[in-house]
């Protein structure tokens, strides 16, 4: 070999490419190349078995999709963009592949070549574990950011079709189309903040901040600065750079004021001014700042009574009550219990290292006989606790009964009576009703909705009857 060839850059480059190709072909588990039109022009012997071929001639000239269904090789040949690392399924196996364009001496793409780097994923487990960890960290970061300044929930998350929930969603949907002030009322745990987030996400303000404030959790001495901000050095100990209040942070978006009934009277006047004039005055400042904020307030107390007691301003109440949406308690929505439980279990499973949870009809019946003073928030707590204590992730009536508050244990069926005993009419009627429920459950394979439809009663009534006869303890099919 002439010495001049060794120092020739073009020669070195050509030899480098040939060497790289030769090494890749030896190390990889298969190689295939196509022309610009997507026809196979080369396939190595090692790839034949994976492709189900006996000889290379069976692939040459055929379109790449005939040889490898759903191949992305044609895309690489057409765009000139490589796909450096990918996982491809072929014949039920997962292959780690790389795909690169082939160029001529002028840099024009004339085809593409692909290499199978691994024909199994065992050797990539450390890398895949690292990727999974990074994805988990990313989800956590997104969740933390979302908790801070964005709304996560939509109307799809507010599960239920019973009249009370349907009415609340219909009114909330109307509110989302306007920028009116909304007052959400309902018992604690009924999902007022979830509905507030859904309104925000369905509105024209969806891309702007959603700021949530629990009025009762802020000390009276700090509540004014929390809402309206402070000017630099407004008082001893104040931040020298000043502080932005919640209204400024929520500018352009939505400010959710939970437990609005607990707001001190002296602050109510300033809030009324913001709602009327759309402007704020930071603590210690004489400058007025314009803000564009939609306020959604929520309360679990009777604001009209607080107005009559002198604890809440009547003018502020009327200003907040432009559109009032009442959220029904869970005990009035038992027909929606299966859907609500399914949604909560999905959320619980996604937020922790739990198995995919399922809930049985007997568990639903046990839940249906409880009064739920804490509503959906309490239901989530009960489900998560039951899931933690369960080994299978399949929640039964007994799993639920063990952790429901004292006094709500599932009743057992009465013992059998000796032969010849005369049964009072009321007891006979009750036994017939119980037997009918059992037959419906058996005929529907334990599907509550189907069983209730067979008997032409509502699901809520069906659940109550199950609890009445102690079927929630496990005598109902699960």
- Give the integer Cα–Cα distance in Å for 342 and 376: 12
Farthest-apart Cα atoms in the chain, separation: 117
Q: What percent of the chain has pLDDT over 90?
A: 34
Q: Is the pLDDT of residue 128 over 90?
A: no
CA distance 58 to 35: 16
3-state helix, strand, coil in the chain (%, to 5): 50, 15, 35
Tokens linked to 448 = 């509550």
Instruction: Give the model confidence (pLDDT) of 267-318 as tens digits.
Output: 898 889 888 888 888 777 777 888 899 999 999 999 999 999 999 999 999 9
Contacts of 288 (CB under 8 A, 6+ apart): 279, 280, 281
CA distance 179 to 175: 7
Confidence of residue 476 (pLDDT cuts 50, 70, 90): very low
Distance CA 457, CA 464 (A): 11
Q: Which of 250, 177, 180, 171 is nearest to 210 (CA)?
A: 250
Residue 52 per-residue DSSP state: T
Q: In whole angstroms, what separates CA 123 from the centre of its chain? A: 33
Least confident span in 267-271, 368-372, 374-378, 430-434: 430-434
Higher pLDDT: 154 or 132? It is 154
- E strands of 332-395, at which residues? 358-359, 394-395
Is it the case that residue 411 has pLDDT exceeding 90? Answer: no
Q: What is the mean pLDDT of the chain?
A: 81
Cβ-count burial 278-303 (b if 16+ within 10 Å, e if not): eebbbbebeeebebebbbbbbbbbeb
* DSSP calls for 278-335: -EE--BT----EE---EEEEEESS-HHHHHHTTSS-HHHHHHHTTEEEEPPPGGG-GG
If phi > 0 it is left, if psi is from -120 to 50 it is alpha, else beta; for residue 320 that is alpha
Report residue 408's pLDDT band, with 50, 70 and 90 as the boundaries. very low
For tokens 């801070």, what's the residue? 148
Least confident of 2-6, 77-81, 85-89: 2-6
- Higher-pLDDT residue of 474, 165: 165
Which pLDDT score is estimated for 232?
67
pLDDT given for residue 389 in this prediction: 84
Dist CA 398 CA 116 (whole Å): 53
pLDDT score for 474: 37
Between 260 and 232, the higher pLDDT residue: 260
Tell me the sheet residues that pair with 42.
Answer: 33
Residue 382: enclosing H or E segment and its boundaries? helix 375-389
**Rounded mean pLDDT, 168-187:** 93
- Tell me what pLDDT residue 414 has: 42
What is the structure's pLDDT at 110?
A: 93
- The answer to whether the CB of 279 falls within 8 A of the CB of 288 is yes
CA 395-443-435 angle, to 5 degrees, is 85
Q: Judge residue 275's burial from the number of C-beta atoms within 10 Å of its C-beta, 0-12 exposed, 13-18 middle, 19 or more buried.
A: middle
Least confident of 2-6, 28-32, 94-98, 176-180: 2-6
Mean pLDDT is lowest, of 230-234, 264-268, 389-393, for 230-234
Give which of 376, 427, 185 is closest to 297, Cα–Cα: 185
The confidence score (pLDDT) of residue 329 equals 94
**In degrees, to the nearest 5, what angle opens at C-alpha 166 toward C-alphas 163 and 171?**
120
Position 49 confidence tier, pLDDT thresholds 50, 70, 90: confident
Dist CA 159 CA 340 (whole Å): 6
Q: What does residue 253 show for φ and ψ, rounded to 5 degrees?
A: -120, -135
Q: Stretch 144-149: mean pLDDT, rounded?
A: 51
Give the lowest-confidence range in 100-104, 130-134, 271-275, 342-346: 130-134
pTM value is 0.57
């Amino acid at each position: 070999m002439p010495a001049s060839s060794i120092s020739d850059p073009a020669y070195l480059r050509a030899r480098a490419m040939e060497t790289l190709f030769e090494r890749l072909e030896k190390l990889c588990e298969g190689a295939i190349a196509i022309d610009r039109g997507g026809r196979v022009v080369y396939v190595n012997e090692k790839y034949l078995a994976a492709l189900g071929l006996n000889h290379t001639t069976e692939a040459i000239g055929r379109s790449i999709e005939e040889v490898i269904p759903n191949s992305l090789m044609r895309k690489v040949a057409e765009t000139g963009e490589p796909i450096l690392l990918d996982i491809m399924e072929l014949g039920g196996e997962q292959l780690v592949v790389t795909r690169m364009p082939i160029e001529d001496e002028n840099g024009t793409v004339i085809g593409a070549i692909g290499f199978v780097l691994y024909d199994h994923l065992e050797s990539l487990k450390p890398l895949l574990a690292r990727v999974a960890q990074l994805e988990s960290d990313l989800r956590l970061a997104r969740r933390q950011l979302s908790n801070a300044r964005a709304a996560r929930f939509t109307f799809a998350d507010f599960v239920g079709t019973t009249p009370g929930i349907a009415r609340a969603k219909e009114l909330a949907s109307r509110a989302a189309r306007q920028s009116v002030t909304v007052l959400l009322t309902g018992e604690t745990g009924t999902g007022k903040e979830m509905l507030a987030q859904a309104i925000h996400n369905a509105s024209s303000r969806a891309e702007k901040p959603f700021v949530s404030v629990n009025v009762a959790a802020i000390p009276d001495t700090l509540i004014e600065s929390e809402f309206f901000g402070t000017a630099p050095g407004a008082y001893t100990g104040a931040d020298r750079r000043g502080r932005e209040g919640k209204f400024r942070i929520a500018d352009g978006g939505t400010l959710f004021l939970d437990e609005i009934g607990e707001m001190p009277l002296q602050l109510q006047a300033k809030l009324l001014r913001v709602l009327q004039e759309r402007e704020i005055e930071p603590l210690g400042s004489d400058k007025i700042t314009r803000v564009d904020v939609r306020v959604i307030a929520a309360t679990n107390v009777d604001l009209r009574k607080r107005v009559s007691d002198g604890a809440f301003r009547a003018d502020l109440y009327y200003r907040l009550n432009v559109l009032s949406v009442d959220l029904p308690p869970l005990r009035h929505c038992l027909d929606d219990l299966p859907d609500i439980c399914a949604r909560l279990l999905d959320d619980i499973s996604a937020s922790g290292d739990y198995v995919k949870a399922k809930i049985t009809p007997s568990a639903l019946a046990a839940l249906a006989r409880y009064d739920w003073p804490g509503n959906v928030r309490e239901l989530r707590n009960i489900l998560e606790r039951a899931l933690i204590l369960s080994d299978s992730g399949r929640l039964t009536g007994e799993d639920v009964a063990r952790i429901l508050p004292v006094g709500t244990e599932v009743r057992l069926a009465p013992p059998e009576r000796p032969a010849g005993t005369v049964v009072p009419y009321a007891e006979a009627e009750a036994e017939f009703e119980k037997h009918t429920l059992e037959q419906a459950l058996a005929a529907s394979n334990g599907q509550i909705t189907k069983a209730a439809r067979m008997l032409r009663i509502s699901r809520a009534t069906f659940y109550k009857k199950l609890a009445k006869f102690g079927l929630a303890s496990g005598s109902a099919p699960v």
